[in-house]
Each structure stands twice: as structure tokens, then as C-alpha cells.
A and B are shown apart, each in its own frame.
Chain A
Amino acid sequence: MDQETSASPAMTFSLLASSAPVLAPRVGKLAIPGRKTIATPHHVPLTSRGTVPHVAHDVMRDHTEINSLYAGLEDFIAKKNAPVYKTPAADHESPLKKFICVAEDMPLILGPRRFPPIPCPPANTSTSIALLTSVGFTQLSAPEYVKAVQKLRPDIAVGMVDLANKQPGSKRRGKMVDRTHAWTRDALEQLYGDSVAEKDKSKSAYFAPVLPLDNAQQTLYLDDLESEFRWDISGLALYQSASLGFVPESLANLPRLLFSEPETPHTILRDISLGADLLTTPLLGASSDSGIAMEFAFPAPAALEEGKSKPRPLGVDLWAGDHATDTSPLGEGCECYTCKNYHRAYIHHLLLAKEMTAWALLQVHNFHVMDTFFAGVRESIQRESFEQDVETFARVYASSMVESSGEGPRLRGYQLPANGPNQPRRMPKVYGALEDVIQKFAESQSEIATPDTDASGLVEHGFAEKL
């Protein structure tokens, strides 16, 4: 076992193999004293304003295996002197965890922006990046971000990086490298530098960004990561799968957190096979929002492989009408809380009725599927059958996610791209011709459900008869 301990923070990352290969799948253990251990490869649950969307804190605690969280600073700093900085906490506690009310043993990763980030029209500057808070666009300066890390004490801080909204030209690429290089140097100096008193050195582990650019374009920066910065960084944050191939040999022992938006589990498997340790999987939440119960396992069950007439879908669209009376669980034999207590007909009804419980229950199921998938991946790598299992998986399952036939929850401003000139309306216009009906609705005692069926539908429902 190859153990790697980095300088000041107490985080350790150990790989369960004698070497730490580049461009090969690997199993490891990320341990922070007093926190839950993360077995890698693992997905990183993404939060919005400190919550895993639709998953209330008690549901997360009681019915999911969530063992780490990623939060973006932009979700907390809408105002100057934001409340998050005033959270009372003891020296050994993270004020950010206190603020979002999660247990101290929950590993927490902080980055400047939520993930996936909404592209910001304002440009980054040489000292700051543009971000979107719930009240609009603003700039976060590099020193401000370092102060936030010092104050909020996350377990892992992802370094500030200069990313371009669109394919950068050569001039822009140069700036991206120079800025990120400078920001990383300054951040490390302020967090762990010689000028910082021993007791004030940050306990947060620092993940240095690797730019989504060619190796050659960021050579100087990568060289510094290997030499000058080496003992202050605890991991690498990557922004495209291709970067997994550039990781210098001497940094191979560091955990790699890949910020990407894989569209299918096939893509996740590819990234793992290239050596990603921690992966973001926004497709999980997106599936829940669109009423899809994910259904795939790794390695693909042998039974599925035999009857391989046509590829298995990667999920079930619960908006589809054929689930209306189906009292079977979302996934066959699934052990999650949702599947043990509820059924497809209920989720289908909740989606149609636009009830929030639908998304909560789908999240619980989809987290379980994703957790089980990653557990299968780790076992497969350890059994050294990963490559073969990936091939089988690709044969058994469809190549893209199922399409949803319904709508997701209402999106808030900070979850939406800024309005552009030619962008379609995100939500249909609902007010207008029926003002007086709406007035009545507003005054009525009960919740509203506008029947979306015609008279014969009502008859069919046994609700009333036609005259």
C-alpha cells in the first residue's frame, strides 16, 4: 500500500495498489480525521444553497448513504458580510457545515461556484471571477475566496480557476494559465505559507485546478505544481476528461476530482477508466427532476446479458402512462427506501399532480442506484475485471439516458442561464386570459389542481357524468 501524506492538512489519500498509474482505473481511500471515509472512485453529491435538492436533512440522514457534499461559495454570498461568515462555531468546527446544518463528520468540499455553474456574461478579471448569486452577477476576488476558505473551514477547498465560457482563443488561454497560476500561488501562500503562524495554517486540504487546456499550454503551471506547490496541494481539480491524461507522474498519487457533466453511466465509466477518483454526476439530479428512475447496475447482471435481444434502457420514465396502476417498485429488487415503501403508480401520480414528494422519493432512489453503481465499480477494479465489465455494460445497456415525457420542478433564477436575446421562454406564460379564475383560485381554501382532462375524461374517472 502506497500511503501519501500531504503537508499541513490531515487529509490522506491512499491507493490500493503498489503503483499509482496514470490513465488507468484505480481504487483508493480518502480519509480525513473525524470524517466519514470516502472510498474512491466515488461520485460527489452536489448541493444547491447547501441542500441536496429535494432531499431534506432527515431524509438524507435516514434514507441515503450520502457521505460527502460539494457546495459552491456563490450560493452563500449574495450580500456583503454574508450571514454564513457569522455562523457561531468552535475552532475545530466548520462554520459552513454549521450554517447548512450538516453533521461535522460529513466531508465537505467547497469551490467558488456551484456545479454545474451557470455561465456568467460578465468576464473574469485578472484578480477575480464572475459568479451568479441569488441576487445577480458579481465578482469574487481571489483574496476574498481565500478568506472564505479560512473562515468557513471546509474539509477540501477547490482552488479558484479562470475558465472561459466558450472555446478560448490563444490570448485567452494564456490569461487562463497565468491567472490560475498566480491565484494558486497566492492562495497556497496565504493558507499554508511560511509567513503564516503554525496555529493559523489552514486545516482545509487544497485541490489545485488543472486547466481544460493542452498540456503544452500550461507547462509552467504544471511544473510549479510538481515542485514549488507540491507539498501544499492535496489533490487536483480537473475540468475535462482529457486532463486525466496530463497529470504529471509525480502528482499521480493525488486524488483527482473531475468536474464534468457525464450524460450517461458509460461516460462515467470512461472517466473512471482514465483514472478519475471523485466525479460529479449532475445527471443524477437531472434524472430525478425529469421523473426518471435510474436503473442500471455494475457489473451488468448476468441474467441481463443472456437475453440480450435489445439494449436495456438506463432508466424508467415515470411520467409514462403505463405506470398508472403499476404497484411494483421503481427498480426490480431495489433495496432503497423509496422502492421498499412506495411504488411506480404513486410516483407517477405525484409527478402528474406536480407534488414535491415525487422528486424527493426519486432522489432517494437515484442516489441509491448511483451509490450501488460506484460500489460495483470499485469491486470490479479490485477484481481486475473492470475493462471486461465495462465492455459488457456497454453491450447490455442503451447508449443514452431515457427521454422524459414530462416537466421538472420550477427553476429559480439562480438555477437558470441569464436571459439572452433569442432565448425561448423557460416556462410557459400562465397568466392572462383567465384572471378572474385565478383570483378565485387564490381565494379558495384548498390547493389547486386544474383538471387536465376533458368531460369524457371526468366521466371515465368516475368523477361526474356528462349531461
Chain B
Amino acid sequence: MSTAAPARKSMPSALTFDRHAKCSTTKARASTLHLPHGSVPLPIFMPVATQASLKGLTYDQLRETGCMLCLNNTYHLGLKPGQAVLDAVGGAHKLQGWDRNLLTDSGGFQMVSLLQLATVTEEGVRFLSPHDGSPMLLTPEHSISLQNSIGSDIIMQLDDVIATTSPDHARIKEAMDRSVRWLDRCIEEHKYPERQNLFCIIQGGLDLELRKQCCEEMVARDTPGIAIGGLSGGEAKEEFCKVVNTCTDILPEHKPRYVMGVGYPEDIVVAVALGADMFDCVWPTRTARFGDAIVSSGTLKLSHKSFADDFGPVEEGCTCTCCRPTDQGGLGLTRAYMHHITAKETVGAHLLTIHNVHYMLTLMGKIRQAILDDQYPAFLRKFFSDIYGGDKSKFPEWAIGALQGVGMDLLADS
């Protein structure tokens, strides 16, 4: 691998990144990301509208939650409705009637995680068609071309994804090197850098040396933003934090950092302290469909019989459309009614999805405000205290350790 490819295609950026504040203790940052379809306050959580729709919601309902940036999956849109339709309709924004920002992944993750017998070669991902078993090939060029047709505001490079828990060190290194080479091919193929921002994806498994090398290589390519990939694959949380912390130490301050596939509230608040800005996860919307509501004390399984005659809102004081009382323009929904329809009526899924997305976005708003006020350590202490009922002995070791690494004692009294 060469450190600097000669005559690299210049990389215009279709975003501006305004940094407002940095926590004086941890590495947390508050900023604003200006994208072609509006400004996004960072740190942010991005809900996943996999197939160009967020689980039953209209885009006005999604707007109402405050969402400025959501995800579509390239793999799914490539299959349905397909590139020809996307071109004919004029891209995914027009298809789904969403006038705010979209981010698409590269499709590689789904290839490897969903398909059997997918093998990665230098050319691309070889896989058997799930329908008729004939051999197929997905290359970085295909992925970028599809994302160009989708027209998302942020597009991701195709990377060589392997499980972080893989014991095969040589394979991890190969994947990292290959991801760098594929980044060059993605940059070369990218047709609309002036309106779509290509993000590179840092690979390297749990090996911090490899991660460092990958950061250096990729930062040299000067993409508008940087993602840390290959995490949330079942690795220990300590390892996850080490990787994020190592990468953010090297990554330039003036670019947004996106940790892919991370979405539990606890993981997010810690990763923010480690200097990450953007997160996505299907968990909040998926768990909504199972009847689980995210609240500040954790999650409530609303299908449990204890909620059958609980006539309070899903969360007291929550300002989402569902929880807000009717005299404040909300719907005044009760836990009892959510229990009544959850997993029985699609409306139950719609309403809890609204609540959960709103919860995540409100959480991000509070995180941002705490950073702006330079109160982030206090915020973290209260956050964990709320979840564990004030019992510090229950605070997770990994979080205490990770925060110690950025100069904060989670167990101290605020």
C-alpha cells in the first residue's frame, strides 16, 4: 500500500462544519453540520428509514420529531425500487417526499451480514444471488453509482467489512488495506462531489495499530467526513471505546465523525465523550415495534401486563406528539392504551416509533446543550444515575473506564 497515491482526484466538499464548543474535560464537541438539505446540530442520532420509509410514519411525523438527517440503506434501495426507477423519479428525496438530509450506507455491510457465501475479493464482494443462486459481484463503483442515483447528502464508501471479533489478524489487516484501496476507487467513481459528501470508513478491527494506520491513510484522502466502521458487531464495550478513542485522537478536529451502527443511549453518551459526532441504529425504531418505549430510566416493555391499567403518559414530561397532553397540542396517549394496541395494531408501532425517535433526538439535544454549557461531565453523571436508580455500584465498568481515559471520573459527586 502506498501512503500517497499520485495525482489523487481532488475532493470538493458539499458540507460545512461549524464547531461551537468543546468540553473542557472530555473530548465531547458541539457543532453544526451544514448539508445540502439543511443544517444538522451535532452530536446527532440518525433514525434508519431502511426502505425509504420510517416504519409507518409520514415524513411530516418524522419532521415533527425534529429529525434533520435520516438513513436509507443502499442495499435495499438497490433491490427495490432499483437504480432505473431512482433515476427516473429523480433520486430518493423525490421518491419519498423528504426535503431534509439523507445518508446512505454502501451496501457492503448487508452483503456480508445477510448473505451466505459472500466472499470478498480485490474486485469487490462476490455473492450468490439470493434468488437464483447465480454468482454476482458488487464493486465500489457499483455502490457509488447507486448512491449517486439515490442522491443522498452523505454517501459512504464500500468497505471490506469483517466481524470485529474475527481472530484472523492477517485477514483484518487485509480488510483494512483493501478498504483504503476501495476508497480510492470510490473517490474516482463519485460523480457529484459538489452535492454529495463521500465519507471514508476507518477499518482495522480491534487492533489499535491498524486503526491508527487506517486513520492516517484515509485522512490523507481528505473526504468531507469520516466514519468509524466495523464496530457494533458484538465486541466488548471496552474494546469499542478504545477503538473510538484511538481514532478520534488522530482524526482532524474540523471534520464530522460518524460511528456506524451505534445506538444504545449509554453507548452514545460515552462515544460523544470520546469525541464522536454522529450515530445511527435501528434499535430505537425496531424496539418500538416490539412495544418497547425508551425512557430516561431505560426501556419500558409496554406489552407487560403491569402497564395494562397505567393511565400515565409513556414518559412524564416527554414533549413528543404521543406523550404531550392534548391541551398542549399532543395526543395524550397513555401506557394503558399503548399496551392495548402494541404488537396488535400497526398504529401502535407508528406511535411508539414517534416516541422513541423523539426520545433519541431530545437526548442528543440535551447532550449538545450540556457541551455548550460546558456541563457534560455533570450530564453524564446524572444520565447514568437516572438509569441505575442512583446506585453507583451498578454503573457499568466499561463506561467508567472509558470516561476515565478522557479525564473524567463518572463516580465523583457532581
Contacts and interface: CB of A to CB of B under 8 A. Distances in A.
B332 A101 contact: yes
Interface in B124-179: 124, 126-127, 129-132, 134-139, 142, 145-146, 149
B408 interface: no
A448 B61 CA distance: 23
Contacts of A458: 78-79, 129, 136
Interface in B66-87: 73, 75-76, 78-85
A57 B85 CA distance: 33
B97 A467 contact: no
A128 to B, nearest CB: 24
Nearest to B307: A83
Interface in A10-63: 48-59, 61-63
B261 interface: yes
Nearest to B126: A467
Given A100-B337, A345-B95, A465 B56 contact: no
A247 B309 CA distance: 43
B19 interface: no
A353 B76 contact: yes
Chain A: interface residue count, which band?
A: 35 or more
B350 interface: yes
Interface string B288-332: 000000000000000000001101000000000100001000011
Contact of B137 (A49, A87, A103, A467): A467
Contacts of B75: 446, 449, 463
Given A51-B341, A450-B130, A464-B138, A101 B333 contact: yes
A463 B340 contact: no
Nearest to B107: A463
B48 A446 contact: yes
A348 B107 CA distance: 23
A312 interface: no
Contacts of A353: 51-53, 76, 80
B372 interface: no
A363 to B, nearest CB: 10
Interface in A395-422: 409, 412, 414
A2 interface: no
A123 interface: no
Nearest to B149: A462
Contact of B347 (A55, A449, A451, A464): A55
A444 to B, nearest CB: 4
Contacts of A381: none
Given A346-B97, A446-B109, A58 B61 contact: yes
A58 B347 contact: no
B341 A341 contact: no
Contacts of A452: 79, 131
A294 to B, nearest CB: 19
A61 B321 CA distance: 12
Interface in B36-93: 48, 50-61, 64, 73, 75-76, 78-85, 88-90
A454 B56 contact: no
B26 to A, nearest CB: 27
A56 B82 contact: no
Interface of A: 48-59, 61-63, 76, 79, 83, 86-88, 98-101, 103, 134, 324-325, 327, 337, 341-343, 345-346, 348-350, 352-353, 355-361, 409, 412, 414, 436-437, 440-441, 443-455, 457-458, 460-467
15 contacts: A51-B345, A51-B348, A58-B354, A79-B308, A325-B89, A349-B85, A412-B344, A444-B113, A447-B73, A451-B130, A452-B131, A458-B79, A462-B82, A463-B82, A465-B136
Given A49-B345, A349-B81, 14 more contacts: A49-B340, A56-B347, A99-B337, A346-B96, A348-B81, A356-B56, A447-B48, A453-B131, A455-B131, A458-B129, A461-B78, A461-B82, A464-B139, A465-B142
